[in-house]
Structure 1
Amino acid sequence: MSSKIEQIIEEIEEYIDGCKPQTLSKTNIIVNKEEIEELLRELRMKTPEEIKRYQKVLANRDAILADAQAKADAIIKEANIHTSELINEHEIMQQAYVQANEIMAAAEAEAQRKLDAATIDANNFRMQAMHYTDDMLGNLQNLIHKTMESHMAKYENMMGSLRSFSDILANNRNELAPALNEEELSDLEE
């Protein structure tokens, strides 16, 4: 992962950490849509050049396969021309058939080899691009989970403090209750 992408991810983490929690929610935060979209746009712009190259190769796969097929067709055409020339020479007709078949087999094997190599390359590029994308999505998912856990812990600490304050207030009121009851009784007796 490039350092620019890591820097943008850190900016997203800092931005999310700085967001205020939504009222009465443990997990939701208030996000400025424009700021998060700008950070995501910047992340997309910093995609490594290698991934862009893989995407171009995938987009050009048909052209690569067509080129391999055209080369194979040219080799086969050349073999057919050569075969026709050999057939015209009556004395070496059998040899011409053998050579033509060998050339055609070699041409077809070469065409198949090039086609297989192009297909393997395109599939390898596609898999590498998918692995990279999965890694990026996994990192973002981990970032979101960590942010959620961090905010959940802060929220639970705050709720614990409020419960503690509420318990202290209830105890104080309970301590005042007997004195208030005595005061009310003395007011009634008078």
Structure 2
Amino acid sequence: MSSSRIEQIIEEIEDYIDTCKGPLFSSGDKIVVERERMEELLRELRLKTPEEIKRYQKILANKDAILADAQQKAEAIIAQANIQNQELVNEHEIMQQAYEQANQVIEMATNQAQDILDNATRDANEIRRGAIQYTDDMLANMQTMVQEVVETSNSRYSAMMKNFQDFYDTIISNRQELAPETASVKEETEETTEEPETDDQQ
């Protein structure tokens, strides 16, 4: 089975992820991706998925066509055998021989028709299993990829919020440490800004 566009897109995503670098001061399991590029690949993947599923549904539908064609061939063989049988029977001089030959022909034709039906059924079932397995593998890869993207996004968001909280706590702590010094500077500023008394005021 040839490579589908969905497989190509998944390979492109994997190759793109391999080229992405991780953020500074982070563990090796995190990377920074270009959002526009990732959304473009996911958008095309979302558009191609229904087409691929329809294509494999069409393959599954071919099972009925294979069985119908095999049934038609089997019926044609049996019909031809019956014609030969009738022709032999009509020759009354060799009636018994005709019956024996006719029965042999019918038995051979029946066996051949059954073989065709068995082979067609086996081929159709193999096609069906292959198509279902391929579709399931494709969806499993998509599920894993989307799950990794979601987990990576959640992890980045949590880390970012923790950094903001730590920075906020540091600011609060620094202001609390500066509180006594700030009050002293304010008092000195008020004293220096007071106007001296004049002779009229004395």
TM-score (norm 1): 0.68
Q: Point out the structure with max Rg over C-alpha.
A: 2
> How far apart are the structure 2 equivalents of 1:164 and 1:57?
58
CA displacement at 1:56 relative to structure 2 = 5.3
> How far apart are the structure 1 equivalents of 2:164 and 2:62?
62
CA displacement at 1:165 relative to structure 2 = 0.8
Contact 1:79-1:103 within 8 A present in 2 as well = yes
Find the partner of 1:37 among 31, 40, 43. 43
2:109 partner SS: helix
Give the equivalent residue in structure 1 for 2:35: 19
Contact 1:57-1:122 within 8 A present in 2 as well = no
2:130 partner SS: helix
Amino acid at match of 1:111: A
Give the equivalent residue in structure 1 for 2:9: 5
> How far apart are the structure 2 equivalents of 1:158 and 1:5?
30
Q: How does 1:64-103 map to 2 (within 5 A)?
A: 64-103=66-105
> How far apart are the structure 2 equivalents of 1:57 and 1:141?
24
Q: How does 1:102-141 map to 2 (within 5 A)?
A: 102-141=104-143
CA displacement at 1:11 relative to structure 2 = 8.4
> How far apart are the structure 1 equivalents of 2:58 and 2:158?
49
Contact 2:77-2:109 within 8 A present in 1 as well = yes
Amino acid at match of 2:9: I
- 1:70-105 CA-to-partner distances (Å, cap 9, x unmatched) read 222221122112222222233432332222222212
CA displacement at 1:10 relative to structure 2 = 4.7
Q: Which structure exhibits the higher relative contact order, with contacts defined as CA atoms closer than 8 Å and separated by 6 or more residues?
A: 1
Give the equivalent residue in structure 2 for 1:142: 144
Residue-pair matches, total: 170
Contact 2:88-2:95 within 8 A present in 1 as well = yes
The two structures, once aligned, show a CA RMSD in angstroms of 3.8
- 1:133-190 CA-to-partner distances (Å, cap 9, x unmatched) read 1121111111111112221221122122112112212212322344567789999xxx
